[in-house]
Amino acid sequence: MANHKSALKRIRRNEAVRLRNRYQHKTTRNAIRKLRSEEDKKAAETLLPSVVSMIDRLAKRNIIHNNKAANLKSKLTKQVAAL
């Protein structure tokens, strides 16, 4: 167990941040899944910017790697363009 007040606070804060990161990551994964299963080009084109924004946010906060974000955005854009 931690011996300092600051360490106890850090433990609490780390847990809160971890839960927030998990929530954002899971939400983004679900949005990507929804975009991939979309058949209508119009709907996919309207959904794409919000999904790309979510991916960028994850990369900026180091929840996912920058290269993974770039790969995801590239693949999703290609898929939407091919519809």
Domains of the chain listed by start with CATH number: 5-82 (1.20.58.110)
For residue 64, how many other CB atoms are within 10 A of its CB? 19
| pLDDT score of 12 more than 90 | yes
Closest C-alpha among 51, 43, 46 to residue 69: 51
pLDDT tens per residue, range 29-54: 999 999 999 899 999 999 999 999 99
0.75 surpassed by pTM? yes
